[in-house]
């Protein structure tokens, strides 16, 4: 009887040993995961943190050119050799520096005959003794500076909220012949302004 049961006991022992090892290994893994989880939680709770904010405000500048008087010339009658001079105030009413050019148009044959020139204000516009700004040229198509974008030769610059005084003179040449008798012309003086900043 004893000789028959001995192999059975030996077989049971051999199957129980791996099961215990597996349980121990599984328990060790679970304990390790629990420890890691607790450690990570404790570590994140221990961090000091802080935040702060700042604000920003933005506003665009303005380019605002104004010329006065609005009616520069009103001459009738005009005879050969006559000239008319007016003082023009050019204002930069904007918040940014500007540069400007001037372009004129004048209708009819008289517009091509009349001569136009500009000087800075000297003693007075009547004296017309300031520094030349635009040499005498036909009124129709006269251009001061360049209306193309960017800084060009002859362009005028005005800082924000400043102005300048210029003397405009229109003259009917003494050599004007009889074909101009009774002629008339309407003139338009266009001031074209653009920003100076970031506009070479």
Rg (CA), the chain: 46
Strand pairing report for 98-106 and 65-68: unpaired
Six token digits for residue 92: 């930069």
Q: What is the mean pLDDT for each group of 10 consecutive residues in the chain (200 residues)? A: 46 51 59 51 71 95 96 93 97 98 97 98 97 98 96 97 98 97 96 97
Buried b (16+ CB within 10 A) or exposed e, 89-126: ebebebebbbbbbbbbebeeebbebbbbbbbebeeebe
Residue 135 CB neighbours (<10 A): 11
What's the confidence (pLDDT) of residue 149? 95
79/55 Cα distance (integer angstroms): 67
Tens-digit pLDDT profile for residues 85-97: 999 999 999 999 9
Please report, for residues 4, 60, 91, 157, 195, the alpha-carbon distance to residue 94 in angstroms, rounded to integers and kept in the order given. 115, 11, 9, 13, 10
What's the confidence (pLDDT) of residue 181? 97
What's the confidence (pLDDT) of residue 46? 73
Provide the whole-model pTM. 0.74
105/147 Cα distance (integer angstroms): 14
Which CATH entry fits the domain spanning 65-195: 2.60.40, 1.25.40, 3.30.70, 2.60.120? 2.60.40
Tens-digit pLDDT profile for residues 42-71: 455 678 999 999 999 999 999 999 999 999
User: Do residues 74 and 99 make contact, with C-beta atoms less than 8 angstroms apart?
Assistant: no
């Amino acid at each position: 009887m004893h000789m028959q049961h001995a192999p059975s006991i030996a077989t049971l022992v051999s199957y129980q040993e791996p099961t215990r090892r597996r349980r121990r290994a599984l328990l060790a893994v679970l304990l390790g995961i629990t420890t890691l989880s607790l450690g990570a939680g404790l570590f994140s709770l221990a961090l000091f943190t802080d935040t702060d904010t700042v604000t920003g405000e933005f506003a665009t500048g303005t380019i605002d050119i104004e010329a006065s008087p609005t009616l520069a010339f009103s001459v009738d009658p005009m005879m050969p050799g006559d000239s008319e001079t007016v003082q023009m105030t050019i204002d930069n009413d904007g918040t940014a520096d500007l540069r400007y050019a001037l372009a004129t148009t004048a209708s009819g044959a008289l517009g091509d005959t009349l001569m136009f020139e500009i000087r800075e204000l000297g003693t007075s516009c009547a004296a017309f003794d300031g520094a030349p700004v635009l040499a005498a040229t036909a009124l129709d198509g006269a251009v001061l500076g360049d209306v193309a974008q960017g800084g060009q030769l002859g362009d005028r610059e005005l800082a924000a909220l400043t102005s300048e005084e210029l003397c405009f003179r229109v003259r009917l040449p003494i050599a004007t012949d009889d074909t101009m008798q009774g002629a008339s012309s309407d003139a338009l003086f266009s001031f074209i302004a653009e920003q100076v900043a970031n506009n070479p």
